[in-house]
Amino acid sequence: MATANGKGTFSEHHRLSIGAGLHHKAVADFVADCDVVLAIGTELASTDLWNGPLKFPGDLIRIDVDPAQMITNALPDHRLVGDARATVEALNQRLGKGSLSEEAVKRAERWQKLFRKHARTQGAAWLPLVEAMREVLSPGAIVAGDSAMACYYGTLSNLPLEGPASFLYPTGFGTLGYGLPAAIGAQLGAPNRQVVALHGDGGAMFTLPELATAAQERLALPVIICDNGGYGEIRREMVERSEPVHGVNLPGGDFALVAKGLNCHGVTVDDEGRFAAALRKAFAADRPTVIHVVGDLAGA
């Protein structure tokens, strides 16, 4: 299992990988079924555990470079203070090379199915978008996600990625507008990898002028904006609490037109086929491309 920030560190295509996203009920059930849990470099924080802290009936072993983190949010039975890589390598040397048993694979497959069922149910509104992204993205792609429903409900647990720092996400404060600047930095730092920014329409409004920076750098950067008519998560919570819904609906804008005004390409799409084609074209473009996703495809 991986946290949002740890997504891709352990290949999500590995036979023993359950997935990314600790908030699903399947994760709590899985942990409760384990004799030992090894937690590496994680705070086990509420920002990952939206549905409450995990309970560890078996032994909990924590590895962290910060001694103070050892007792944050969960008291371990065993504490290993040190750099994650060096500590894990030392453990491997002490324990010796293990083998991948069929029993372990079958157990992982059971939990994978349950995890994916929960993830797909929660992210159902964004699955067509996620599947289209999966079709286009190459191994090693980087997704810079904003604090948007399309990211934490859609891509986090439903879009497999490879390698550390392949999913850039503002865990913690949930900073709106993070996706585009993060994607620009990632593309400049990894020019030979596909990088895509994924935003909601509300969050995109916070840093949209940064498109001018990406255009000046001539980055072939797709910027996906899922338009659900405002701040969808806050709106949903207001409705669930039976509160008056106010200050969360946006009148809508033409993000493709704004992109062109900032010397980028821009296109508006409302179905998977046109979206996939636009995403492919964006990776081969001579400047950034804003892909304004509307309708059901945006989870609206």
Question: What tens digit of pLDDT does each residue of 124-170 get?
Answer: 999 999 999 999 999 999 999 999 999 999 999 999 999 999 999 99
pLDDT at residue 2 in the model: 95
Residues of the chain with CATH 3.40.50.1220: 25-117
pLDDT score of 252 more than 80: no
pLDDT score of 52 more than 80: yes
pLDDT at residue 34 in the model: 96
pLDDT at residue 8 in the model: 92
Q: Can you tell me the mean pLDDT for 54-78?
A: 94
Residues of the chain with CATH 3.40.50.970: 123-298
pLDDT at residue 158 in the model: 97
- Using pLDDT thresholds of 50, 70 and 90, give the confidence band for residue 96: confident
- Using pLDDT thresholds of 50, 70 and 90, give the confidence band for residue 97: confident
CA 135-141-144 angle, to 5 degrees, is 105
Q: Does domain 25-117 have CATH number 1.20.1250.20?
A: no
pLDDT score of 300 more than 80: no
pLDDT at residue 31 in the model: 96
pLDDT score of 3 more than 80: yes
- Using pLDDT thresholds of 50, 70 and 90, give the confidence band for residue 17: very high
Residues of the chain with pLDDT > 90, as a percent, come to 87
Query: What mean pLDDT is reported for the chain?
Result: 95
- Using pLDDT thresholds of 50, 70 and 90, give the confidence band for residue 33: very high
Q: Does domain 123-298 have CATH number 3.40.50.970?
A: yes
- Using pLDDT thresholds of 50, 70 and 90, give the confidence band for residue 100: confident
Rounded CA-CA distance 282/265 in Å is 8
Question: What tens digit of pLDDT does each residue of 23-32 get?
Answer: 999 999 999 9
pLDDT score of 174 more than 90: no
pLDDT score of 219 more than 90: yes
pTM score? 0.93
- Using pLDDT thresholds of 50, 70 and 90, give the confidence band for residue 251: confident
